[in-house]
Amino acid sequence: MKEIRFHGRGGQGAVIASNILANAAFLEGKDVQAFPFFGVERRGAPVTAFTRLDEKPIRIKYFIYNPNYVIVLDESLLKAVDVTAGLKDPGIVVVNSKRTPEEMELSQYKVATVDATSIALDNGLGSKVSPIVNTVMLGAFSIATSVIKLESILESIPGQVPIKAEENTKACKTAAEKIVLHW
Partner 1 sequence: MSTKKVISGNYTASYASMLCRAEVVPAYPITPQTTIVEKIAEFVASGQMKAQYINVESEHSAMAACISAALTGVRTFTATSAHGLVLMHEMLHWAAGARTPVIMANINRALAPPWNVWADHTDSMSQRDTGWIQIYCSSNQEVLDTLILCYKVCEQPDIMLPAMVNLDAFILSHTSEVVDVPDQKEVDDFLPQFNPEIKLDVDEPLSFGTLAFPSSWYMEWRYKIQHAHDLAAKRLVEEAKAFEKHFGRPWGGLIEEYRSKDAEIILVTMSTIASTTKDVVDSLRDQGRDVGLVRIKSFRPFPTKDLREALGHAKVVGVADRSHTFGNEGPLFTEVKGALYNHDRRPPLVGFTVGIGGRDVLGSTIEGLYDHLEKVADGEAYKEVRWIDLIGDEEEVV
Binding residues for partner 1, rule: CB under 8 A, are 18-19, 22-23, 26, 31-36, 38, 58-63, 65
CB of 33 to partner 1, least distance (A): 6
Residue number, 33 or 113, with CB nearest to partner 1: 33
Across the strands, what pairs with 37?
48
Q: Which helix (H) or strand (E) holds 133?
A: none
Residue number, 42 or 124, with CB nearest to partner 1: 42
> φ and ψ at 73, to 5 degrees?
-80, -15
CB of 63 to partner 1, least distance (A): 5
Torsion, Cα of 98, 17, 153, 126 (10° steps): -60
Residue number, 62 or 163, with CB nearest to partner 1: 62
Distances (CA, A) of 69 to 22, 95, 123, 125, 141: 14, 11, 26, 25, 9
Look at residue 106 and give its three-state secondary structure: coil
CB of 109 to partner 1, least distance (A): 25
Strand runs labelled E in the chain: 2-9, 31-37, 46-54, 69-72, 92-96, 110-114, 180-181
CA distance 124 to 40: 27
CB of 62 to partner 1, least distance (A): 5
Residue number, 60 or 85, with CB nearest to partner 1: 60
CB of 131 to partner 1, least distance (A): 24
Residue number, 106 or 138, with CB nearest to partner 1: 138
